Amino acid sequence: MLKNKSILFIFLLAASLFLVSNFAVLAQETEGQPLEITYPEVPGLTERPTSVKTALPDYVKYLFNFAVMISGLVAFAVLIFGGARYATSAGEPAVMNDAKSQMFAGVLGLVVLLSSYVILTTVNPQLVIFRAEPKPLGGVTLYDEPDCAGNIKAVVRGEEQFEKEFPAESLKFLASKGELEAELYGGKDFSGAKETIISGDKPCVPRTETFDVKGVKLTWKLPGVYLVNEKGQEILIPSDTGTIGKEFNDKVKGIKFRNIEAVEITNDTELKTPAAKQKKCNDTGGFWENSVCYRIKYGAVLHEDAGQAGSCKVFTQDGEVSGFGVSSVTVFILSGEETGEGVTFYEHENMTTGIIKPDGPFKKVEACRTVKSNLIPWVTSMNVDGNYLAVLFSNNDCSGICQVFRKSDPNFRNDPIGRCGCLGDWFCGDCLRSFIILPVK
């Protein structure tokens, strides 16, 4: 009897965890609708789901901890109830034995919960955190004595102005050689005397100038995509990122790109004209732009919602981000070579009939373009022949619902860009009205 009750308790516990996990998935699928419930606070968690922009990992993290808390309370309640029954059942052996079984089941449940949590935390703490986000880069620390000793004033990730001048004698870089550049200013608003120092072989770098420091600006030299928040802090986005950190989520004010430039193409007898230089650049795997040959040139799509959802904006050069909250990023590398046939849109699914004429197929569309058709402005499938990034929008001005594709899609009905004006799950309309297409590597 005792064994059966213990098995039943463990089964119910596992079932509850499974159900709350499925609930997290369902909650994520309804993204785009306002939350209709207020989630209770869970001790030990600083956040709880508050809007449709809450990412799936955050839902899972919240519900996992919520399930552990509730299961622990249930097991503790069973233990207390069994203890109370045992204490009040003197002279009734059957009731006392049943109470003992209840107490044992409560203790067993608590042991199972605590053991599972401890095991997960010991093997890998990330298994119970359920969050993977890029971390802001390190920075520099200023010291008022040589050899990085004495009093300190820390500066990290971006820029900072001090209320009073700081007599910095040395700096300690939290970066490898050549990765980080620090500009020191002696006046207000980054004015006056200036000294530029780049991270070297050793973390501690002595100063060569004598003026006191009033402000510091940091510039990272690592190639990639950087987001800048309202505090001037920077974060490197190395690849597609479904959620960004708290200091940057909905706080991004700008974007920067640090590309890798190839060795300069010399003006020898064979490379006198810009066309010849461009061909040489492309033949060596480079990307030619503004008379510069890049080995790697980055671009990014900034998404309003987590998981590359919601509206978006496309960037291929430094710019300001205003009136637009950023929660996730798609990173790509531009290519100077247009491969294959390009991107072709079809009116019907499975890319069989109704080729969108007269403009397609498309190989490079840097500015927003509206879908044109001799029939109706509906697009249900897309063929991508070659290496291209297709950013599709539901409005004519490249706004509204946004979705990024790198390969063909035989039926948009399975994607947000093909499900507009639905009546439940039926009678959905095609959303695509405008697009941007870029050749990528």
Q: Is residue 83 part of a domain?
A: yes
Q: Does residue 133 sit within a domain?
A: no
Q: Quick one: tokens of 151? A: 């009093």
Asked if residue 53 and residue 159 are part of one domain, the reply reads: no
Q: Retrieve residue 171's tokens.
A: 């700096």
List CB contacts of 394: < 8 A, sequence separation 6 or more: 400, 401, 402, 417, 420, 431, 432, 433
Q: Are residues 190 and 234 in the same domain?
A: no
Q: Please indicate, yes or no, whether residues 177 and 239 belong to a single structural domain of this protein.
A: no
In a domain, 109, yes or no: yes
Phi, psi of 377 (to 5 degrees): -80, 45
Instruction: Clarify whether residues 117 and 164 are in a common domain.
Output: no
Specify if 347 maps to a domain.
Answer: yes
- What the block records as the tokens of 366 is 């840097």
* Distance of alpha carbon 370 from alpha carbon 224, whole angstroms: 30
Q: Which domain holds residue 396?
A: 342-439
Q: Are residues 235 and 297 in the same domain?
A: yes
What is the full per-residue pLDDT of the chain (441 aa) written as tens digits?
A: 444 555 555 555 555 544 444 444 444 333 434 444 555 655 544 455 544 445 555 556 666 666 767 777 777 777 787 777 777 777 777 777 777 777 777 777 777 767 766 665 555 444 444 444 454 567 899 999 999 998 888 776 678 889 899 999 999 988 888 888 899 999 999 999 999 998 888 889 999 999 999 999 888 888 899 998 887 778 888 889 888 878 888 999 999 998 888 766 555 556 677 788 888 787 777 777 777 888 889 999 999 998 898 899 999 999 999 888 999 999 999 988 888 999 988 888 887 766 665 567 898 999 999 886 554 557 888 899 999 999 999 888 999 989 999 999 998 888 888 877 776 666 677 788 899 999 998
Domain-embedded: residue 237: yes
Domain co-membership, 217 together with 248: no
Give how many domains the chain has, as a whole number.
Answer: 4
Residues 384 and 412 in one domain: yes
On whether residue 337 sits in a domain, the answer given is no
3-state secondary structure (DSSP) of residue 177: coil
295 and 231 both lie in a single domain = yes
Kindly report the pTM of this predicted structure: 0.60
Handedness of CA 228, 234, 236, 237 (dihedral sign): negative
Question: How many angstroms separate the Cα of 123 from the Cα of each of 65, 120, 396?
Answer: 18, 5, 51
CA angle 324/302/232 to nearest 5° reads 70
Where residue 165 sits, what CATH number does that domain have? Answer: 2.60.20.10
144 and 202 together in one domain? yes
Together in a domain, 218 and 118: no
User: Is the residue at 336 inside a domain?
Assistant: no
* 166 falls within a domain: yes
